[in-house]
Amino acid sequence: MSHSVFGLFAFLLAIALVVQGSLTARADGGQQKFVVSVDNIAHFAFTDSGAFNTPVGADGPGALLPGSAYEWSFYANPGERLSFASMFVQSNDWFLAPDELGIPLYHGDGTAVSGDVTAYVKLWDAGTEGDQIPGAGADQAPRQSGPNTGPADPTPHVRQVLTDAIPQVNELVQVTLSPGANGRFTLRIENISNSSSFATPLAPGVGVVHTNPAPLFINGMTDLGRGLEALAEDGDPSGLAAGLAARTGINTPFAPVAWTVQSSLNALFAPGQAASAGLESLAEDGDPGALAAALGGNSGAAAIPHNASGPGPIFPPTGNYSFEITAVPGEHLSLAFMFVQSNDWFYGINNLPLFDANGNPRQGDVTHYATLYDAGTELDETPGFGPNQPPRQSAPTAAPLKTASSVRSRPNASPIRPTSPTSP
Q: How confident is the model at residue 145 (pLDDT cuts 50, 70, 90)?
A: confident
**Same domain flag for 171 and 86:** yes
Asked whether residue 420 is assigned to any structural domain, the reply reads no
Query: Which of 12-26, 325-339, 399-413 shows the lowest mean pLDDT across its residues?
Result: 12-26
**Same domain flag for 154 and 29:** no
**Same domain flag for 60 and 180:** yes
Q: What is the CATH number for 293?
A: 2.60.40
33: pLDDT strictly greater than 80:
yes
Backbone phi, psi, residue 34, to 5°: -130, 150
pLDDT value of position 250: 87
- Taking the C-alpha atoms of residue 82 and residue 102, their distance in angstroms, rounded to an integer, is 5
| b/e sequence 73-92, b meaning 16+ C-beta within 10 Å | bbbbeeebbbbbbbbbbbbb
Asked whether residue 416 is assigned to any structural domain, the reply reads no
pLDDT tens-place string over residues 339-396: 999 999 999 999 999 999 999 999 999 999 999 999 999 988 889 999 999 998 877 7
**Same domain flag for 353 and 395:** yes
412: pLDDT strictly greater than 80:
no
What does pLDDT average to over the chain? 89
Strand residues in 76-120 grouped as ranges (E): 81-88, 94-98, 103-104, 115-116
- Taking the C-alpha atoms of residue 227 and residue 241, their distance in angstroms, rounded to an integer, is 8
Asked whether residue 421 is assigned to any structural domain, the reply reads no
Q: How confident is the model at residue 296 (pLDDT cuts 50, 70, 90)?
A: confident
**Same domain flag for 212 and 129:** yes
Asked whether residue 104 is assigned to any structural domain, the reply reads yes
End-of-domain residue from the set 245, 261, 279: 245
Overall pTM surpassing 0.75 (yes/no): yes
Asked whether residue 137 is assigned to any structural domain, the reply reads yes
136: pLDDT strictly greater than 50:
yes
C-alpha distances (whole Å) from 347 to each of 12, 141, 201, 282 are: 11, 48, 46, 11
17: pLDDT strictly greater than 90:
no
108: pLDDT strictly greater than 90:
yes
**Same domain flag for 240 and 265:** no
Asked whether residue 89 is assigned to any structural domain, the reply reads yes
**Same domain flag for 268 and 381:** yes
pLDDT tens-place string over residues 225-257: 999 999 999 999 999 999 999 899 888 999 999
CB of 178 closer than 8 Å to CB of 114: yes
Three state DSSP letters for 2-59: EECCCCCHHHCEEEEEEEEEEEEEECCEEEEEEEEEEEECCCCCECEEEEECCCCCCC
Burial of residue 347 (CB within 10 Å: 0-12, 13-18, 19+) is buried
End-of-domain residue from the set 221, 245, 269: 245
**Same domain flag for 89 and 132:** yes
Strand residues in 212-328 grouped as ranges (E): 257-262, 299-302, 319-327
- Taking the C-alpha atoms of residue 359 and residue 204, their distance in angstroms, rounded to an integer, is 58
423: pLDDT strictly greater than 60:
no
Show Cβ contacts of residue 227 under 8 Å, excluding neighbours closer than 6 positions: 237, 238, 239, 240, 241, 242, 243
**Same domain flag for 290 and 357:** yes
**Same domain flag for 389 and 312:** yes
**Same domain flag for 175 and 140:** yes
pLDDT value of position 271: 93
Alpha carbon 292 to chain centroid, angstroms? 31
Burial of residue 412 (CB within 10 Å: 0-12, 13-18, 19+) is exposed
Asked whether residue 235 is assigned to any structural domain, the reply reads yes
Asked whether residue 17 is assigned to any structural domain, the reply reads yes
Query: Which of 10-14, 139-143, 154-158 shows the lowest mean pLDDT across its residues?
Result: 10-14
Domain residue limits at 396: 2-43+250-409
With vertex at residue 399, the alpha carbon angle to CA 394 and CA 402, rounded to the nearest 5 degrees, is 170
Q: How many domains does the chain have?
A: 2
DSSP state of 367: G
Burial of residue 13 (CB within 10 Å: 0-12, 13-18, 19+) is buried
pLDDT value of position 8: 32
End-of-domain residue from the set 198, 223, 245: 245
CB of 175 closer than 8 Å to CB of 119: no
Q: Who has greater pLDDT, 191 or 382?
A: 191
Q: How confident is the model at residue 25 (pLDDT cuts 50, 70, 90)?
A: very low
- Taking the C-alpha atoms of residue 401 and residue 391, their distance in angstroms, rounded to an integer, is 18
- Of all residues in the chain, the percent with pLDDT exceeding 90 is 75
- Taking the C-alpha atoms of residue 199 and residue 195, their distance in angstroms, rounded to an integer, is 8
- Taking the C-alpha atoms of residue 160 and residue 168, their distance in angstroms, rounded to an integer, is 12
**Same domain flag for 25 and 62:** no
- Taking the C-alpha atoms of residue 92 and residue 100, their distance in angstroms, rounded to an integer, is 21
Average pLDDT over residues 142-157: 86
- Taking the C-alpha atoms of residue 200 and residue 415, their distance in angstroms, rounded to an integer, is 39
User: 3-class SS at 291?
Assistant: helix
